[in-house]
Amino acid sequence: MKTTRHATYNINYHIVWIHKYRYPKLTGKVKEAIDSVLKEIAEDKGLDIIDLEVQPDHIHLFVSSPPKHSPSLVVNWFKGISSRKFNHHYDFESKLKWARGYYVGTAGEVSSTTIQEYIRRQKN
């Protein structure tokens, strides 16, 4: 569980997006650069990367976010900022381009029993 001034939360997003045309370009030094850029974005935005896997043609990101950020905003940050930073800071033979779509799913570790207990504690 994590907290902000006004909320206690456990919100985790599993985000997957692909390289445009699914070209297998996310390998070697490109993979290392993308990994570094994504971690920098998470730190700048106050997000916690739980797990990250850069595959040759797509990325799996498991990230925790406060409730004030919508899933689409988190995805836009990672895709948009990573593309701009990568293309600006790294000199590779081709530019990094993401496909327009993405997958996002939510995951948490709260059972119905935990929720019921939390509600009971609020009565007192």
Q: With DSSP H G I counted as helix, E B as strand and the rest as coil, what are the percentages for the chain, rounded to 5? A: 40, 25, 30
Beta-bridge mates of residue 13: 63, 106
- CA nearest neighbour of 75 among 31, 42, 107, 32: 42
Q: Residue 51: what are its φ and ψ, rounded to 5°?
A: -155, 150
Q: Strand locations in 44-101, DSSP E?
A: 48-54, 58-64
Options 9, 13, 103, 118, the catalytic residue: 118
The verdict on whether 90 is a catalytic residue reads no
* Strand, coil or helix: 81: helix
Beta-bridge mates of residue 58: 18
Annotated catalytic residues are: 118
